[in-house]
Structure 1
Amino acid sequence: MAQRFTLRRIYSFYGSSLTGPMRAVPNILSQCTHTHGLLPTTSAKSVLTTVRKIHVSHTCGVTFNVQNKDDFQDRVVGSETPMIVDFHAQWCGPCKILGPRLEKMVAKQQGKVQMAKVDIDEHTDLALEYQVCAVPTVLAMKNGTVIDHFVGIKNEGELEAFLKKLIGP
């Protein structure tokens, strides 16, 4: 049922300007049965896959969420790659602004630096250990030691300068 509804919306949106496999939408709609709401032909799969492609960004490889204290020790403190540690909270407005900015800047570095995200509500022990008094707090770590830090929101120029200090010239 949901597939039929989706196909009808696609066809009504694009109308007669459909080309290629999408021109089969009216025929597929007429072939649909009410049993289980499934589309009976294999050509329906090709119709659905041509509608929208999902693009994956590079930030997935350099940004990760810390799962627990042992994970933090292994992936952050034990890392040879310079690390940015973002202490944030779900309820924090500035954190929601700073997080994507940081991810974008770290992705631009193409693997020279990685970013760990620590939710202070889930990992209070880590926040206390690193003396996080306010969020967002961002630490720059190299070989397990804190090189620099800042508290609050920064613009892209300030973030770039912060990363340059960590990575070096």
Structure 2
Amino acid sequence: MAQRLLLRRFVSLALRKSSAPVRSQSSAFLPSLSSLSQRGTGITTQHRANPHTARSFSDSPACNVTFNVQNQLDFTDRVINSKIPVVVDFHATWCAPCRTLGPRLEKMVAKQEGKVVLAKVDIDDHTDLAIEYKVTVVPTVIALKDGDVMGKFVGVKSEDDLEVFIKKLI
């Protein structure tokens, strides 16, 4: 898994340096979608890679305590050097359990009213961080306080389990 993450990182860096159209991961594995888009069905599978485009994960009210990590420097500044505890959600856009866990985490962090923040790290964009924190499966959630790992879990948890996890951090 780590080798695959590292390979994706190198490929994505090489693709970002070129401005040519990039085939998305889904079109690489499902060529039939590419043929559908060429027939005019409205499905498009190609996009331009833009390393400076920040992705927004959610428009929920929790956005003031939830942020997407943009790069290693941003992670160091907003997570490692944070004065308040940080819950780091390592996820991927293609991961269905991640899409289930994400809103639950946002809801639980929002309930804490600023006592804790949520950092979202897309492992496809930030493979180096995933490797550094030994993330081999998504979703993986790590709790950091003063730059130290205080707890970790893998997989989808219920809202009650998430609340207990976050309460231990505070």
**Alignment partner, residue 86 of structure 2:** 83
- Aligned ranges 1:1-169 → 2 under 5 Å: 57-167=60-170
Can you give the 5+ residue segments of structure 2 that lack an aligned partner in the other structure? Answer: 1-58
Write the distance in 2 (CA, Å) between the matches of 1:149 and 1:162. Answer: 9
Gaps of 5+ in 1: 1-55
Query: Secondary structure at 2:93's aligned position in 1?
Result: coil
AA aligned to 2:119 is A
Deviation at 1:58, TM superposition (A): 3.4
Q: How many Å separate the matches in 1 of 2:161 and 2:66? A: 20
d(CA) in 2 for partners of 1:160, 1:89: 23
Match of 1:147, SS state, is strand
Question: How many angstroms apart in 1 are the aligned matches of 2:60 and 2:147?
Answer: 27
Partner SS, residue 121 of structure 1: coil
Q: Distance in 1 between matches of 2:131 and 2:60?
A: 33
Structure number with greater Rg is 1
> How many angstroms does 1:57 deviate by?
4.8
RMSD across aligned positions (CA): 0.9
Listed one character per residue, the Cα deviations across residues 9-33 of structure 1 (whole Å, up to 9, x for unaligned) are: xxxxxxxxxxxxxxxxxxxxxxxxx
How high is the TM-score relative to the length of structure 2? 0.65
SS in 2 for 1:81: coil
CA displacement 1:51-80 (0-9 Å, x = unmatched): xxxxx7531110000000000000000001
Residue identity in the other structure for 1:147: M
Q: Secondary structure at the match of 1:74?
A: helix
Which ranges of 4 or more aligned residues in structure 1 deviate by more than 4 Å?
A: none
Identify the structure with the greater helix proportion: 1
User: How many percent identity over aligned positions?
Assistant: 66
Aligned residues: 112
Name the structure, 1 or 2, with higher relative contact order (CA <8 Å, separation 6+).
2
| SS of residue paired to 1:146 | strand
